[in-house]
Amino acid sequence: MARTKKNTAKEPVRVRTKDLANGNKSLYLDIYVDGVRSYEFLKLYIVPETSAAAKVANKNTMQAANAIKARRILDIANGAAGITKATGTNVLFTDFVREVIREKKTVKRYGTTIDATLKHLIAYKGEKLTVSQINTNYVRGFVVYLEKSINTHGGNLSNNTKALYCKCLYTVLNDAVRKGFLQSNPMDALSTDEKPHFRDPGREYLTVDEVKAMAGAYCKRDEVKRAFMFACFCGLRLSDIIGLTWGQLSKDGQQWRASVKMQKTGAPLMLPLSAEAVRWLPERDGARDIDNVFEFPSNPAVERAIKAWAEGAGIKKRVTFHVSRHTFATLALTAGADLYTTSKLLGHADISTTQIYAKVIDSKKDEAVNAVSSLFG
């Protein structure tokens, strides 16, 4: 009698271990679906079984790992990524991302960020995957890939950079949903703990003396210097300054104003410009209303130019373009502007955001008073 053929199909998800220097073993999932391998580290650990308690702990840990494994297999079986294969089978994912970049080219900063994200997506899995292969395992693996990636200076990617790339991928996948390539965004299946999150790097700002030092120092990119100094005296974000056109500037008597629809919030802002802000505007030289006021290199080039410029000015702080916005807020409050007015000038929807700057000013006042008291101690 013929024997029944034994089912030798491999499981798409397996629990594996990685030896650690401290003697523990880290548990992770080895996931292989549609020719694509990815890994998910579970943050679960097997410890040396030196006691009965350790054996019980390891048993419970393995049960937890196998429960996660079972959920992942179920996700795969149920098509948790939600791909509509009829439309996504023959479309290369990298080509789809490039199309998004072309569509977003009018928003220069956004397109540049997606372009940087695309380079990492290619380094992660190459260019042969179709949209139908972009699933929850793929995006989980991308998060792990970013943890190990290095920046152009040879260091690890910052947490905010990793969060930005994941946000870009999420946006691209939302585009795929809107266009019918996906039924749902596979990144929605990731838990909050699995995703990198933006962290507030602090409200670094320049003092009056540091602003003067920057104004007097050489910067190899004059357009970057003008834009940064302009932002120090008006508070606009880099994205809004990049999109600023000559037609958005107007003069009412002696008062210059900028009419801006903020890129981040979409809210309109009618911003009065001080004489110092106007002083840093470039010459118009017959430019049309639709022409940009400032011409910019890529974002990395902007930040490199600012870093070198600040170092040349003798400033020890980490200066990025966004420091100009913080500088405007603190200068306004130091000069006596009230919190409500400063909030409106910055375009904050919630005054509690502006209060962060007020706390910075208050802490400096405390330091000054205590410094005077110490003279007589």
Q: 316 by DSSP, 3-state: which?
A: coil
Asked if residue 240 is part of any domain, the answer here is yes
Return phi, psi of residue 271, to 5°: -110, 120
Question: 260 with 234: CB under 8 angstroms?
Answer: no
Residues 166 and 260 in one domain: no
Residues 49 and 100 in one domain: no
Interior CA angle at 239 toward 144 and 345, to 5°? 125
Residues 244 and 291 in one domain: yes
Asked if residue 180 is part of any domain, the answer here is yes
Per-residue pLDDT, 257: 93
Q: Considering only CA atoms, which of 71, 176, 192, 70 is closest in space to residue 131?
A: 176
Q: What is the CATH number of the domain that holds 296?
A: 1.10.443.10
Asked if residue 94 is part of any domain, the answer here is yes
Q: What is the CATH number of the domain that holds 175?
A: 1.10.150.130
Cα 34 to the chain's mean position, in Å? 30
Sequence letter at residue 193:
D
pLDDT tens, per residue, the chain with 377 residues: 444 444 445 678 889 998 888 889 999 988 887 777 778 888 899 999 999 888 988 998 998 888 888 777 766 765 544 433 445 556 789 988 888 887 776 555 555 678 889 999 999 999 989 887 899 999 999 999 999 888 776 778 888 889 989 999 998 999 888 888 888 899 998 888 888 887 655 578 899 999 999 999 999 999 999 999 999 999 999 989 999 999 999 998 889 999 998 877 778 889 999 999 999 999 999 999 999 999 888 888 899 999 999 999 999 998 999 899 999 988 888 888 888 888 888 887 777 777 777 776 665 555 544 554 454 55
Q: Considering only CA atoms, which of 102, 123, 124 is closest in space to residue 114?
A: 102
Residues 239 and 361 in one domain: yes
Place of tokens 């009698």: 1
Residues 73 and 89 in one domain: no
In the chain, the number of structural domains is 3
Residues 358 and 213 in one domain: yes
The whole-angstrom separation of Cα 328 and Cα 94 is 40
Residue 85: partners with Cβ closer than 8 Å, 6 or more residues away: 132
Global pTM reads 0.49
Question: 131 with 96: CB under 8 angstroms?
Answer: yes
Of the residues 38, 59, 77, the one at which a domain ends = 77
Of the residues 25, 43, 77, the one at which a domain ends = 77
Cross-strand pairs, 249 = 258
Side-chain half-sphere of 150: how many Cα atoms within 13 Å?
A: 4
Write out the residue range of the structural domain in which residue 52 sits. Answer: 13-77
Of the residues 166, 194, 222, the one at which a domain ends = 194
Residues 186 and 212 in one domain: no
Residues 238 and 170 in one domain: no
Residues 172 and 217 in one domain: no
Contacts 24+ apart (CB under 8 A), 309-312: 309/214, 309/217, 309/218, 309/219, 309/220, 309/224, 309/225, 310/214, 312/217, 312/218, 312/219
Residues 285 and 354 in one domain: yes
Question: 234 with 271: CB under 8 angstroms?
Answer: yes
Residues labelled as active-site residues: 237, 264, 322, 325, 348, 357
Asked if residue 203 is part of any domain, the answer here is no
The whole-angstrom separation of Cα 179 and Cα 172 is 11
Strand order, beta sheet including 13-19: 13-19, 25-33, 36-46
The whole-angstrom separation of Cα 264 and Cα 235 is 14
The whole-angstrom separation of Cα 212 and Cα 214 is 5
Asked if residue 2 is part of any domain, the answer here is no
Residues 227 and 348 in one domain: yes
Residue 352: partners with Cβ closer than 8 Å, 6 or more residues away: none
Residues 45 and 136 in one domain: no
Per-residue pLDDT, 264: 73
